[in-house]
Amino acid sequence: MFLKDISKRAALKDIFTGIIIAMVSIPISMGYAQVSGLPAVYGLYGSIFPILIFGLLSTSKQFIFGVDAAPAALVGAYIASIGIESGSEQAIRLIPVISLLTGVWLMILSLLRAGKVVAYISTPVMGGFISGISTTIIFMQIPKILGGVSGRGEIAELIRHIVHTCKGNFAPTSALLGTAALVILLLAKKLFPKLPMSIFVMAGGAILGYTGFAQAHGVTLLEDIKGGLPIWKLPDISLIKRTDIITTSLTVAIVIMAETLLASSSYASKNGYKLKNDREIMVYGLGNLAASFTGCCPVNGSVSRTAMGDQYGGKSQLMSVSAAFSMMMIILFGTGFIKYLPVPILTAIVISALLGAVEFHMIKRLIKQDKRELFIFFGAFFGVLVLGTVYGVMIGVVLSFISVIINTASPKRSFLGVIEGHEGFHSLERNTAAHPIKGAVIYRFSGNLYFANINILITDIEAAVKDDTMAVIVDSGAVCSIDITAADRIAELKKLLDQKDIKLYFASHIGSLNDKFRQLGLSSMVEEGHCRRTVSAALLDAGFEPPYEVIRDSGAEQKELPIQSFERLEFEWAFGKDADMEMEKYAQMLMSDIDAEQNAEEQLDSLINADVQWKGMGEMDHEELLVHIQAHLKELSEKLHISEERIDEAIELRKLILAEKLGNKDPKALKLLKEHNSRFESVLSKNDSKLYEKLLQKRREALDHLRKTNPEYSDIIDEFYRK
């Protein structure tokens, strides 16, 4: 149970948050009950037992259940379509039957393990879905601030309703109170996030209603509610014979399942806990059965109340239990104050909570990080906003699957080469030190091979083959499966390469892929040894033995690779084209840790021997880091209160030590190191020529002094800095 993992302090906060949620639920629940076609008091009835059941049985720590927009709107639309007047006896008889069937459908969906569908819905779809629902409900609520009643339908209908309200029912004082309350709430959320400003705003509104100010200026108040708990009774099941009730209740059940699972999964993901989806759906069903027995409309997970609970730091379902008992106390003993609450002020509280649920931060993140996922986000968002919850979910799911297809149809791939002295095969694009092997094309394909992406592999390989190519080796380590279309195209490619006396290999894949090759007509690839366990084995079979001949600068120079190894360029491997930028960030981070109160010489020594974050950093990367640090001589001098000359000399000495170690491991490594330094200095000379000239001058002075104080490094100075 939730109480076992919660502290006394957290429990008190959850109880207090539950009381706030109960207070805020008064206008929300009453309003949505009316939207569904019931008298307002039934909204309060639906805010006791369904919420209590959810709080006691749900695996969601933060989500709140209750009378909410989507089911209410669907039921209200159905009631209107069959000609039943809202608030009539017919509606009071029929709506609980819909709730009953909705609960039954949800329990059936739970038994069918329908909760696993959420695993196929991506984070942008969830974010767009929640944002779309929140925005829709905000548009529903705006007319209540302006002096009218809540809207229903999709965005076009909601906007028309807002315009109609402005033309026919606009109340200036109501709009002023609602807007002022919303501004106060939003400012308080930013300036005093832990302050329960909604309680103070609600209290202020009650005072305006009690004194008569609100009524005198045409501000709508909540209706008077008769106290007392609801009577439990079985709905009129004779009405179930209507086929349209069965289909409507199924639609409502699917909406409740999708909307609540998506939203609660989003909160679970953000706050680091797991949901049991099928159990959750069962709890939704039980909650709706309780709603039906108390005469209420179908109940749903509430994004607005959950957002409010999150705002006030609620961490467990003790919130829901507290909210349920608080609502029970209100109905029993506190309904008298309800009639004094101004509708526009309470509506502002709801809108404030909903604005917190709109995923603005996700939009900003996706704009920077992934435009395709941003498109999916807005697809789900506008799907909900324009077409409604059901179609919004469908659009989001379809877009997710399209994204999967696009990603698998165009997987990451690269041509590989070798780095001098380092084992393995490395991306030519991502490693400037890597060079292709003369006469061989090594190609990595990072995805399963099937009809949608095989043409990419074929096209890439055909474009890479040259007149002197003797072997094409596909590094298929990431390929776990292949379909018949891909197998046929590979057979065609092999035939084409055979005509050119070029051997085709697949290497490094899992053994079961060989079984698939044999099954799909490529058994000769396996039988003739063209499927190899490693790329090295494929190269050896094709006649390539280490040390390999490599091609430098598109064939301008050819060298043999030594067999011995030295440490690779970790930053370039980790960050690719952003390596220089990340190295600069790392250098600045190291300098930001300098403490003026500590020993300056010790901090300088620690800095130039940087072993803080990237422990085990190779000499190549370490030397390049020193080059970046060297560009901040003036800043270092001011922080350490050591002369620029002393710092530069210490850095140059450390660079020489690293260069000597590299030279001892592999004489050719010095050339590679010089290439890296040259690249950085070239960029620096273009971006800040004055700083570049200053660094060169400081370097000359430091090296001249080092020749005198450390003559043993004279040879390495000549070798390393010779143009």
Residues 6+ apart with CB under 8 A from 425: 416, 417, 418, 442, 475, 535
Asked if 52 and 25 count as a contact pair (C-beta separation under 8 A), the reply is no
Q: Output the CA torsion sign for 499, 471, 479, 527.
A: positive
pLDDT attached to residue 539: 94
How confident is the model over 581-630, as pLDDT tens digits? 778 888 888 888 888 778 888 888 877 775 544 455 667 777 778 878 88
The HSE-up count of residue 371 (CA atoms within 13 Å, CB side) is 0
Residue 98 and residue 249 in contact, taking contact as beta carbons nearer than 8 Å = yes
Least confident of 204-208, 364-368, 490-494, 590-594: 590-594
532 φ, ψ (degrees, to nearest 5): -120, 155
d(CA 603, CA 608): 9
pLDDT at 520 over 90: yes
pLDDT value for 566: 37
- Secondary structure tally for the chain: helices H, strands E: 32, 11
Q: How far apart are CA 672 and CA 685, in angstroms?
A: 20
pLDDT at 54: 94
Which pLDDT value is given to residue 516?
93
Query: Which of 111-120, 218-227, 477-486: highest mean pLDDT?
Result: 477-486
Can you tell me the mean pLDDT for 261-286?
87
Domain ranges across the chain: 2-359, 413-560, 571-721
450-499 pLDDT tens trace? 998 999 999 999 999 999 999 999 999 999 999 999 999 999 999 999 99
Specify the 3-state DSSP secondary structure of 389: helix
**CA 616 – CA 609 distance, rounded (Å):** 11
pLDDT of 602 reads 83
Does residue 335 register a pLDDT over 90?
no
CATH node for 413-560: 3.30.750.24
Q: What is the mean pLDDT of the chain?
A: 83
Contacts of 18 (CB under 8 A, 6+ apart): 309, 314, 318, 319, 320, 321, 322, 323, 324, 325, 326
Q: From CA 124, how far away is CA 135, in angstroms rounded?
A: 16
Reported confidence tier of residue 284, pLDDT bands at 50, 70, 90: very high
At 295, which amino acid appears?
G
Q: Are 450 and 466 in contact (CB under 8 A)?
A: no
Three-state secondary structure call for residue 165: helix
Which pLDDT value is given to residue 568?
Answer: 43
Q: Is 474 helix (H, G, I), strand (E, B) or coil?
A: strand
The Cα–Cα gap between 381 and 392 comes to 7
- For the ranges 58-67, 169-178, 246-255, which has the lowest average pLDDT? 246-255
Task: Give the span between the Cα atoms of 130 and 22, in whole angstroms.
Answer: 22
